[in-house]
Amino acid sequence: MLGNPASEFAVGALKLPGRAFLAPMAGVTDLGMRRAAQRFGAALTVTEMLDADFYLGRDPAAALRAEGAGLRHHVIQIAGCRAETMAEGARRAEAAGAAMIDINMGCPAKRVTGGFAGSALMRDLDLAVSLIRAVVGAVNVPVSVKMRLGWDMHSLNAPELARRAEAEGVAMLTVHGRSRCQFYQGKADWAAIGRVRQATSLPVVANGDCTSLAEADEMLRLSGADAVMIGRGAIGRPWFVGAVARHLAGLPQAPGPDAATRLAVARGHYRTLLELMGTEHGLRHARKHLAGYAAHAPRPDAALRHRLITSENPADVESLLEILFESEEPAVAA
């Protein structure tokens, strides 16, 4: 089924307990989400992207994104386009407890690519490689690179970037099977990730559009990758990443968490956000998660969901969550 049948996954000296990871998502993979995913078996979680300049400028929002208390394998992702700041950012991340540094070469957002960071680096591989070299040289922990297939369909240069990253000492590659110009349109091309697999002997992680156990199998079959990374498919159900990890390890699939457990996860995540961010900011930030949990509640209810994501009162939010998750229904599959 997989290139490597063992469920353990080594990245440099790092031994990971499985082959399904939570993807970095700005505004989403806060510490509460990463903790919840890890608790249910995600082998690795990655912070939201940190702009290296803001991180070095001690921006409080960047510091919050870099938080990793309670995580087994804390991966901090940095973005930028200057070698000195990327190296310095990586050093700070390592000092803050990161077990691995991930370099963002995949973000398609104009505000990021306009600064020649994120996926814009795939248009200038010499610059991309100079950043990789600076980061690898700055830290002792493994360094990974997350990329897309290329800038557009006429420049699918991920295999070349992979080869050059390997030569610079990178330990792992993640490939989102779309070009930058596709943003999130169409379907991720899992077979195209296979061209990166063939270009390098590094561990390759396939990413893009994995929302079911069957899709995880198909993604690995078509790409030949070693592991999968799941982003949007884990919003509102952080336990899904662990379910994929167990499935890929060939373990029997346990039923997904019951309604009471899902309620406890949603409530715990919500409380973590209020605690970390303060009530005002936490309330606003939590809305996308609340919408996600509501979508996976036993009895999705549009009116309750609306009240949940517009409420300004934490006690009301908790009561609404309880109502949403009150159910006699059996546990759902992941």
Ligand X SMILES: Cc1cc2nc3c(=O)[nH]c(=O)nc-3n(C[C@H](O)[C@H](O)[C@H](O)COP(=O)(O)O)c2cc1C
Give the footprint of ligand X on this chain (CB under 6 A): 23-28, 48-49, 77, 104, 106-107, 146, 176, 207-210, 230-233
> Residues 145-175, buried b or exposed e (16+ Cβ, 10 A)?
bbbbbbbeeeebbbbebbebbbebebbbbbb
- Which residue number, 44 or 259, has a Cβ lying nearer to ligand X? 44
Distances in Å between the Cα of 240 and the Cα atoms of 49, 212, 216, 253, 262 are 22, 8, 11, 11, 12
Whether 210 is a known active-site residue: answer no
Measured from the CB of residue 305, what is the shortest distance to ligand X in angstroms?
Answer: 19
Of the candidates 226, 266, 55, 209, the one whose C-alpha atom is nearest the C-alpha of residue 144 is 226
- Which residue number, 26 or 265, has a Cβ lying nearer to ligand X? 26
- Which residue number, 207 or 272, has a Cβ lying nearer to ligand X? 207
Measured from the CB of residue 295, what is the shortest distance to ligand X in angstroms?
Answer: 15
Q: Give the DSSP H/E element, type plus range, for residue 227.
A: strand 227-230
Of the candidates 195, 187, 127, the one whose C-alpha atom is nearest the C-alpha of residue 157 is 195
Measured from the CB of residue 294, what is the shortest distance to ligand X in angstroms?
Answer: 18
- Which residue number, 245 or 263, has a Cβ lying nearer to ligand X? 245
Taking CB positions, which residue lies at the least distance from ligand X?
231
Listed in sequence order, the DSSP H helices in the chain are 31-39, 52-56, 60-65, 83-95, 110-113, 125-138, 158-167, 190-199, 213-223, 239-248, 259-277, 279-295, 302-310, 314-325
Measured from the CB of residue 25, what is the shortest distance to ligand X in angstroms?
Answer: 4
Residues acting as catalytic residues: 107
